Amino acid sequence: MTTKALDPITLDIMWGRMIATVNEQAAALMRSSFTSIVRDAGDLSACVFDRRGRMVAQAVTGSPGHINSMATGMAHIVEEFPIDSLRPGDVIITNDPWITVSQLHDITIATPVFHKGRAVALFANCCHALDIGGRGLSADARSIFEEGLFLPIMKLHEAGEPVQPIYKMIEKNVRTPEEVIGDIHAQIIANEVGARQLRSFLEEFDLDDIEAVSEAIIERSEGAMRRALADLPDGRHEFGLTLDGFRSPIEICCAVRIAGEEIIVDYSGTSPTVELGINVGFNYTVAYTTYGVKCAIAPEVPNNAGSFLPIRTVAPQGCILNAQPPAAVAGRHTVGHFLPSAIMGALSGILPDKVMAPGADSLWNTHIAGHDARDGAYFSYTWFSTGGTGALRGQDGLSATSYPSGVAGVPAEIIEALTPLVVRQRSLRPDSGGAGENRGGLGQIMEIEVRTERPYLFSGLYERCAHPAPGLDGGQAGATGAVETSNGETVEPKISRMLPPDTVVTLHIPGGGGFGDPAKRSGEAIREDIADGYVTPEGARDDYGSGAG
């Protein structure tokens, strides 16, 4: 079947089937996962690629950092293992930060699909491993060599047979081998589910492969993206963000240039690579750049290899957004998650009705490990928390909602069921959303107790504790974040430390920036905010003055 033979109705049906296939792939991964990071938070991606390694479709569930990094990383995998060199039962593994998701904790599994004796596609997925050895999930390391087990692109299974030395190497280098290897098996199963669905698709439509379908989808996605860009005026637009960084601020400089049907996002002038692990591999920078551009300009265009083609990303080598090996990168999201906000800030002058003010942006990742007081057993647990998003023109920001990562917060009941942690409080944080004609979303307050009789390890990869999310178009900044302890112990964001067993930690997660002049917010909206507990009467008077009456 050729591209010309695919009429719009048939193509639409095929596209729906492709999306259903990768959604089933993702669902299989979540159902069979050993960890709440994947099962409940959805920190994963699932995609199908054509023979050339081009991403055709992605599952609805997933993080843009995983999905878009894997989309560009697949080119490296098919270069290492050309598709016609693969055999049925082969499984490829890697966590190379510079070609996939810019962090050793994120493991990618790729599997070829065979139909009529020929490799016709690749299914791949990526999810966050509970542990990868090294220093654990913190920014303490000074190089990638300290951060854990580095898996180059290699075969985990050959012709259906597990490569046992690789499994043994993983088992002996992680603290939680059952969960890590269990999730790797879940990833393999997920790809097999996708492959089975794809073979059914090929048989139903009497196709030898997906090349004609892939070509049509990618061509149309590229065309739609180029048309959206052509509707915008040519020009250069700039925006800057200041982040906490590690003990000294980081500047993200973003210049967006629109030239006809193309867009160039240039991060020249951004702060250089730092000594500890908050650096970002370029692949991850590209991932969140393409996502930010699509959100602002053409969110309706499918996210695949075609929609990426008109977007070019520039980040000088050695800046924090293009860190070179062996830079430490475990906390790369504490910088990379801010790129969509930088892009939207740059485009706010020409797309004021489509952009969102900066929000908390970066996930707050908390890792606690120690010994359960009930039975003395060792435990290790990571969860993600979310702050408020920025407001848009005509819409308040969302409270305790993950953007841009899309990862969900894990319910308190699950945290308590799986660990000796007690969530003593989890509530929206009043007055944390930036004032504006539209208010920024609220952050959260989380109070955590650990049922242990020994000191425990605490690590928090947190941002916006010193530099809040700024507003747009006259909107005010959201509240900064903070970490408090019940006994005065100091907890420094991004660094792990041991805490006494009686330490209760309280997280004050930041809010999003406001949009528009606060004086223009209606009195009715302010009164509703007070009634709902989003804003205290004192906060309303401070932010809105006489309008709060």
DSSP string, 282-305: HHHHHHHHHHHHHHHH-TTS--SH
Asked whether residue 133 is domain-assigned, the answer is yes
Distance CA 405, CA 433 (A): 19
Nearest to 333 by CA among 142, 103, 133: 103
222, 256, 291 - which closes a domain: 222
Asked whether residue 343 is domain-assigned, the answer is no
222, 249, 267 - which closes a domain: 222
Question: How many Cβ atoms from other residues are within 10 Å of residue 533's Cβ?
Answer: 12
Asked whether residue 109 is domain-assigned, the answer is yes
What single letter denotes the amino acid at residue 261?
E
Distance CA 407, CA 365 (A): 11
What length is written for the chain?
Answer: 549
DSSP 515: B
Parallel, antiparallel or unpaired: strands 55-58 and 44-49: antiparallel
Q: Domain limits at 181?
A: 3-222
Distance CA 182, CA 131 (A): 12
Q: How many domains does the chain have?
A: 2
User: Residue 137: what pLDDT?
Assistant: 84
pLDDT mean values, one per 10 residues, the chain (549 residues): 69 94 97 93 94 96 92 95 97 96 96 97 96 91 97 98 98 96 98 97 95 96 98 98 95 98 98 96 97 96 96 98 97 97 98 97 96 95 95 97 91 95 98 98 98 97 97 98 96 94 98 97 95 95 78
Is the CB of residue 447 less than 8 Å from the CB of residue 490?
A: no
361 and 218 within one domain: no
Nearest to 389 by CA among 405, 367, 411, 410: 405
User: Residue 548: what pLDDT?
Assistant: 64
Asked whether residue 242 is domain-assigned, the answer is no
Asked whether residue 392 is domain-assigned, the answer is yes
Nearest to 459 by CA among 328, 365, 370, 373: 365
Q: Where are the beta strands (DSSP E) in 130-249?
A: 154-158, 161-162, 235-243
Q: Where are the beta strands (DSSP E) in 95-141?
A: 106-115, 118-128
Asked whether residue 136 is domain-assigned, the answer is yes
- pTM of the shown model: 0.95
Asked whether residue 457 is domain-assigned, the answer is yes
222, 246, 269 - which closes a domain: 222
Q: Where are the beta strands (DSSP E) in 339-455?
A: 364-371, 378-385, 421-428, 444-450
Question: How many Cβ atoms from other residues are within 10 Å of residue 300's Cβ?
Answer: 7
Asked whether residue 243 is domain-assigned, the answer is no
Q: Cα separations (Å) of 40 from 406, 414, 446?
A: 12, 9, 18
List of residues 6+ apart from 508 with CB closer than 8 A: 429, 432, 443, 445, 479, 481, 482, 483, 484
